[in-house]
Structure 1
Amino acid sequence: MSEKMDNKLKSKRKLVSGLPVSCLLLLFLALGIGRLSAQETKSDRTFKGGAALSVITPKVGTSINGNFKDDTVRHIHDDTHARSLVLDDGNTKIAMVTLDLCVVHRETLDNAKKRANKFTGIPIENMLISAIHTHSGGTACSVWQSEPDPDYLIFLEERTADAIIRANNNLEPARIGWGVGQEPSEVFNRRWKLKEGITFTNPFGGEDKVRMNPGFENPDLVGPAGPIDSEVPIISVKSVEGRTIAILANYSLHYVGGTKSGEISADYFAMFANRIGELVGADRQTPDFVGIMTNGTSGDINNINFGGSAPKPMKPYEKMAIVANTVAAEAYKVYQDITYHDWVPLAIVQKEISLGVRKADAKELKRANNILAAAKSDGSFSRDELYAREAIFLNDFPDQKQLILQAVQIGDLAITAVPCEVFVEIGLEIKAKSPFKQTFCISLANGYNGYLPTPKHHAWGGYETWRARSSYLEVNASNVITSNLLELLEQLKSSALTSR
């Protein structure tokens, strides 16, 4: 030890001798003795990120769902994908995946998670897999008149797992940041209140006070039956050298549509992913940049303003491109102002809950059977015949359905995940009551349990409340789910505070 250093230590010892313990602690901090900064506590941890794409395009000749009537794949406009992002804070790994599908059964996703876990070691409960809700993807769920090809479901399990495995293989030291923008121009509430005394007959012989997609310049309308959510949250992950690995965004828009019949397309979700990659200069790099657009709380939201005049007709895919470019421009604006972190804590909590299934009573079942008995035998169904058919299907459902709910923490950002087409009011309530600085919700995650209206909307009626495999949870389901999600968020927040 040098003489200069030895004298310095002696002077410090002389200064502190004889002082009370409380004074000693303050003095140690002032002199830098025993002080460990927050950054230094994390110096031995490396934050990592990895992303990957896997093609999940169905074969020509198989089923497309998204409409009452089944369609057949006759052409591939754009390949559909599993888009995966894996994050690792050195202690916890989380995988988030979107599938370019309308909806997908929980069983398929559970099998994919098991396969991914086998190869990566990522805990199954740390995987969040959601459908984007394109209405022009392969059929992965029994809904309306569409049935999935069993071979396609096996293919989906494998390719979904592969996306997680490949993203995990691509993990590298990374930095992460997030932010939120606003784009109100592309979202409209599609449920409209009807004037006093005006009702709309539902498939069960009752009268509704609200109508979905009621047409332009309809004189019977009062106004939208609910709000919108214009937020565009994004998460950006960059390599330590500055290469953008992935951007995950969220927007509460059902889908856009406007494809040609029989064509497979990932809708505006894929167009957004491509465009944001171009904007950040990451469209041609190795490993591939992965853009991800998750579906927010869009159960009652679409891209059509029924409060205005009818828009001019557009070519197929034209409207998709407009929406994708508009939302990508807003996301890019947010991206340019993001503050990145060398390390943030990751956490995820999961809870399985049980909810009741709405079923037809004996009288309603008799009515449904009578309707079907009088139906044509050519395989075509009217609206009321389709819902009579659904009543028969639901009668075979269990009385209770098990659902997975999740909450994810990334620093002071939180994400909730629900296996339903969630109404926008629910997402707005969760955002408002969340203990985190920024929160957003991913719908159609970890399975499919139909629409999630609030009890108020159930009372008003309308398509999204009509009992079918597309809407069967108990009337109070939204309150139960919201309460449980807020508890999970509080659990994450408490754990984060305790671990500081």
Structure 2
Amino acid sequence: MPSRRDFMATIAPGALVALGAGPVRAATTGKPAFRAGSGRADIVFPSGRFPIDGFTGQHDPLAVRIVLLDDGTTRLAIVVVDLTSISGELITAIRTIVTDVAGIAAPDIIVSASHTFSAPHIFAAGQAPPGTDMKANAAAWQAVIQAARLATTRALASLQPARLGAGQGTSRVSVNRDVRTPYGWWLGADDAGDTDPTVSVLRIDRLDGRLVTADLAGAAMRHVEARYGPDATALFMVGAAGDQAPYLQASRPVVNADGRAARIDIHEAGFAIVDLLGARLGAQIVDVAERIRAVDTPTLDIRRESIQVASQAFSPRTDRATGPVTTFSYDAGPPVALPVVLVRIGDLALVGVQPELVAGLGARIRAHSPFAHTMVATMVDGGAKYMPDARSYDRHTYEARSSPFARGAGEAACARIVALLKQALPAAR
């Protein structure tokens, strides 16, 4: 069984993609047929290579999942890998595979981690911390590469005329994790805190009525795939969940009477929580998917932009947030570039950024977007720690102290992203 050291620490519902089936008719507009394909392949770690990064075995499979979309003019790919995070080198390797197999240019490929904390970290050459078993690390890297190639091959083979539609639902499986203690703000569960229960669903129907789907991490993905049958493929993209945690947690943070931060961990008993929350979220995704009406000729467009935001001094190698504090000094840094990817998929806009936005910032983008449906995804094409709202810096929360971005950067980024949605992408018809 795997180590439960940070089990379910950061999973929260946010931007989800789900693909479903149903009887449909072929397009009659004369426009090139919209096509879609999906593929899934398990990441198979050699049994003799455990332990890997502290994990001694495997409870259920990790996977690489991919969706290919093609409107006759633009072809793009969305890849989700069941890992905590993905290095730039691994992203490049995955993109190279997708380009080689499916002929899609690297800028038109989005790669994201499902952000499960119950998976090993896989390091690029020269980046592994001291003590890393490099043979096990190399085997894990190769396992991801092999799964990516197989998933892409399957997705390309399944590429066919399709229809597409989007919808939203609500699933209350997350809670704000910033709580006030006598020693300052720290991690926990605050029922009164900001949270965003929105579940965004993108459904794609194959014209033969057979089904392809996509959704949350682990249990929720399996729930949706089981609902739609053996041809279903499910993927999950992390939403604006930087200040969110599962409503129920197997490994939960606490603050002791002396102000020191600690954890209470129920270990393998926590799999019951995974099944419970996965079934709840998966059921909501299925419910939303069943109510979506797909269209024949959705338009695809992908734009990559860069915006300038204020930074602050921060080193990911130094843990600056080890417990609650009542005072903290933030050191301003120079403006930095924030990559943003904007994808139009019919009347849905997908906004992808590297940093983990807090829930309020994601909700702000959706509220002001000109699109009928807007999906905000984080940890897209790499990670950049947290991007909190201004209030988090006043509270000295874990996210604010662990952010490379200065106070106000989140609000400024939201405003610029909304402006880009109005300017850079063609208006939804």
* TM-score tier after normalising by the smaller chain length: 0.7 to 0.9
1:300 paired with 2:243, answer yes
Match of 1:190 in 2: 177
One-letter amino acid of the counterpart of residue 406, structure 1: V
Alpha-carbon offset, residue 156 of structure 1: 3.1
2:225 to 277, 282, 290: 277
The structure-2 alpha-carbon separation of the partners of 1:462 and 1:226, relative to structure 1 and needing over 3 Å to count, comes to: same
> Residue 188 of structure 1 contacts residue 302 of structure 1 at CA under 8 Å; is this kept in 2?
yes
2:394 to 441, 449, 459: 459
Match of 1:67 in 2: none
Bigger mean CA offset, 231-240 vs 421-430: 231-240
Q: 1:302 is paired with a residue of what secondary structure?
A: strand
Alpha-carbon offset, residue 49 of structure 1: 0.8
Match of 2:89 in 1: 107
> Residue 83 of structure 1 contacts residue 290 of structure 1 at CA under 8 Å; is this kept in 2?
yes
Q: Please give the residue correspondences for 1:70-81 in structure 2 after superposition, counting only pairs within 5 Å.
A: 71-81=53-63
> Residue 169 of structure 2 contacts residue 288 of structure 2 at CA under 8 Å; is this kept in 1?
yes
Query: How many matched pairs?
Result: 372
- CA deviations 1:406-446 (Å, max 9, x no partner) are 11111111111111222101100001010101112111110
Q: 2:410 is paired with a residue of what secondary structure?
A: helix
Match of 1:350 in 2: 304
Q: Please give the residue correspondences for 1:96-495 in structure 2 after superposition, counting only pairs within 5 Å.
A: 96-140=78-122, 149-150=137-138, 152-153=140-141, 155-157=143-145, 159-184=147-172, 186-194=173-181, 198=182, 200=183, 208=184, 210-213=185-188, 226-245=193-212, 247-249=213-215, 269-280=217-228, 282=229, 284=230, 288-304=231-247, 315-353=269-307, 358-359=312-313, 403-467=338-402, 471-493=403-425, 495=426
The structure-2 alpha-carbon separation of the partners of 1:443 and 1:384, relative to structure 1 and needing over 3 Å to count, comes to: closer
1:52 to 36, 39, 53: 39
The structure-2 alpha-carbon separation of the partners of 1:360 and 1:437, relative to structure 1 and needing over 3 Å to count, comes to: closer
One-letter amino acid of the counterpart of residue 199, structure 2: V
Match of 2:7 in 1: none
In the alignment, the residues of structure 2 paired with residue 143 and residue 412 of structure 1 have an alpha-carbon distance, to the nearest angstrom, of 42
Alpha-carbon offset, residue 303 of structure 1: 1.8
In the alignment, the residues of structure 2 paired with residue 297 and residue 107 of structure 1 have an alpha-carbon distance, to the nearest angstrom, of 24
Alpha-carbon offset, residue 480 of structure 1: 4.0
The structure-2 alpha-carbon separation of the partners of 1:56 and 1:420, relative to structure 1 and needing over 3 Å to count, comes to: farther
Percent same amino acid among aligned pairs?
A: 22
Alpha-carbon offset, residue 225 of structure 1: 7.3
Regions of 4+ moved over 4 Å: 59-64, 141-148, 311-314, 353-357, 381-385, 398-403
In the alignment, the residues of structure 2 paired with residue 354 and residue 156 of structure 1 have an alpha-carbon distance, to the nearest angstrom, of 33
Alpha-carbon offset, residue 403 of structure 1: 4.4
> Residue 191 of structure 1 contacts residue 224 of structure 1 at CA under 8 Å; is this kept in 2?
no
The structure-2 alpha-carbon separation of the partners of 1:382 and 1:248, relative to structure 1 and needing over 3 Å to count, comes to: closer
Match of 1:17 in 2: none
In the alignment, the residues of structure 2 paired with residue 383 and residue 452 of structure 1 have an alpha-carbon distance, to the nearest angstrom, of 15
Q: Please give the residue correspondences for 1:59-74 in structure 2 after superposition, counting only pairs within 5 Å.
A: 59=46, 61=49, 71-74=53-56
One-letter amino acid of the counterpart of residue 343, structure 2: V
One-letter amino acid of the counterpart of residue 224, structure 2: I
- Greater length-normalized contact order (CA 8 Å, ≥ 6 residues apart): 2
In the alignment, the residues of structure 1 paired with residue 44 and residue 242 of structure 2 have an alpha-carbon distance, to the nearest angstrom, of 25
One-letter amino acid of the counterpart of residue 152, structure 2: I
